[in-house]
Amino acid sequence: MRSKVSGIVLIGGLFLLLLFLHDGCKKQPRCGCGKDVIQTLVDLDVIVQYDTSASTILFYPVYTTGATYYFCNPGQWIDSLKKLNTKDYLLLTGKAYYDCNYIMQSSNYPYLPPVYQTEVTGLREDNYGK
Structure confidence by residue, pLDDT tens digits, 101-116: 888 888 788 788 999 9
- Is 4 among the domain residues? no
Give me the domain span that covers residue 65. Answer: 30-125
18: enclosing H helix or E strand = helix 2-22
Structural domain total, the chain = 1
Give the residue-averaged pLDDT of 110-126: 92
- Is 2 among the domain residues? no
Give the pLDDT band of residue 17 (cuts 50, 70, 90): very low
In degrees, rounded to 5, the angle at the alpha carbon of residue 77 between the alpha carbons of residues 50 and 62 is 55
pLDDT tens-digit map of 32-52: 898 899 999 999 999 999 987
- Compute CA distances 10 → 13, 14, 17, 20, whole Å: 5, 6, 10, 16
Q: How much is the pLDDT for 46? A: 95
- Is 6 among the domain residues? no
- Is 9 among the domain residues? no
- Is 21 among the domain residues? no
CB distance 78 to 91 below 8 Å: no
- Is 17 among the domain residues? no
- Is 18 among the domain residues? no
What share of the chain in percent tops pLDDT 90? 39
